[in-house]
Amino acid sequence: MIKENLEAVRATLPQNTTLVAVSKFHPAEMLQEAYDAGQRIFGESRENELKQKDAVLPHDIQWHFIGHLQTNKVKYLMPMVSLIHSVDSERLLDEIQRQALRFASERMARFGTSKVSVLLQLHVAQEETKSGFAPEELINLLSQTHISERWPNIEFRGLMGMASFVDDEAQWRKEFRSIMACYHDLINGPLTSQGIDKEQFSILSFGMSTDYQVAIEEGANMVRIGTSIFGERIY
């Protein structure tokens, strides 16, 4: 069933769209099934769960961390994670920088680079419970910070966001457009002027099972899909 679901989702994705299979709360056997069907990128939201799965699943899996990340958990992710989607504060960046140094040789051995790749999470939805930078806040932060001095071991790869949990396509579009607008403001402003170009800062991670087709129309090139592949989660 997972294989068929994966194939059905893949058939709807343009060539240049990266699929993150969101496997949180699903057992390792289900991830193995997706792996056997060719999937290599998996999204998890809790460090404990990621660790347990990493221990029993093939080592060429690329783990993406997509959940809210507390600073005290960063060190546990360092040996395993290839991309952190959910970086939502300055403090978290400082902690990732600290731990990137501590885990440099371990990460070099597994990933061929000691730098830690991150996406910056934007808060564009209506719900206050969601985390992320406000677009203005992020633009100000990156304008006022000497990026390569403060975070030399972090590779800034793009933006991540989530639309509101409403059944309203027009609302999703509006929110996705504000992610794209912020992306262009960053590229045309503080990033390019600090030597980070759109080759490096190229990932636009938005779109989930219900809204990913709209997300792709609005410019997403990485979608995070769980339910349509693995079915409903039992929390």
Interface with ligand PLP (CB under 6 A)? 22, 24, 45, 66-67, 162, 208-209, 224-227
| Element (DSSP H or E) covering residue 63 | strand 62-65
Q: How do strand 81-87 and strand 116-122 relate by DSSP bridges?
A: parallel
State in angstroms the smallest separation of the CB of 208 from ligand PLP. Answer: 4
State in angstroms the smallest separation of the CB of 152 from ligand PLP. Answer: 27
Compare residues 41 and 191 and give the one whose CB is closer to ligand PLP.
41
Spatial contact of 223 and 19, defined as CB atoms under 8 Å apart? yes
Which residues are CB-neighbours of 220 under 8 A, at least 6 positions away? Answer: 17, 176, 204, 205, 206, 207, 212
Compare residues 116 and 160 and give the one whose CB is closer to ligand PLP.
160
Q: How do strand 154-161 and strand 81-87 relate by DSSP bridges?
A: unpaired
Compare residues 43 and 135 and give the one whose CB is closer to ligand PLP.
43
State in angstroms the smallest separation of the CB of 93 from ligand PLP. Answer: 19
State in angstroms the smallest separation of the CB of 232 from ligand PLP. Answer: 8
Q: Which residues pair with 121 in a beta bridge?
A: 160
Give the whole-angstrom CA distance, residue 206 versus residue 101. Answer: 29
Compare residues 82 and 194 and give the one whose CB is closer to ligand PLP.
82
Compare residues 140 and 227 and give the one whose CB is closer to ligand PLP.
227
Give the whole-angstrom CA distance, residue 61 versus residue 118. Answer: 17
Start-to-end CA span in the chain (Å): 21
State in angstroms the smallest separation of the CB of 141 from ligand PLP. Answer: 21
